[in-house]
Amino acid sequence: MNVTVHYFAILRDRTRVDSETVATESVDPLGLWHELERKHGFGLDPVHFSVAVNDEFSEWSHALFDGDTVVFLPPVSGG
């Protein structure tokens, strides 16, 4: 299946792309993270991140489907 990943903040700095569409066998965002970690070498620990799927806060174990959009969220620092 194909999923689209958007990168923000430190992840955009590390990947040097705003977004990408990935052909993946990962069944959840955690698997996808590790797959993309191997590709980009984030050098970051996912324990500090949260995840959104299709523009909603989600879980690392959320089942992914073809066409989903995934965002890994660094610790927020707005205000």
Rule CB under 8 A: which residues touch another protein? 6, 8-10, 12-13, 43-45, 47-49, 52, 55-57, 71, 73-79
Least distance to another protein from the beta carbon of 8, Å?
A: 5
Lookup: tokens for 31: 């698997």
Q: Is residue 51 a contact partner of residue 62, using CB atoms and an 8 Å limit?
A: yes
**Please, what is the minimum distance in Å from the beta carbon of residue 77 to another protein?**
4
Q: How far is the CB of 54 from another protein (least distance, A)?
A: 9
Name the pairing type of β-strands 56-57 and 69-73.
unpaired
Q: How far apart are CA 5 and CA 33, in angstroms?
A: 10
Between 11 and 64, whose beta carbon lies closer to another protein? 11
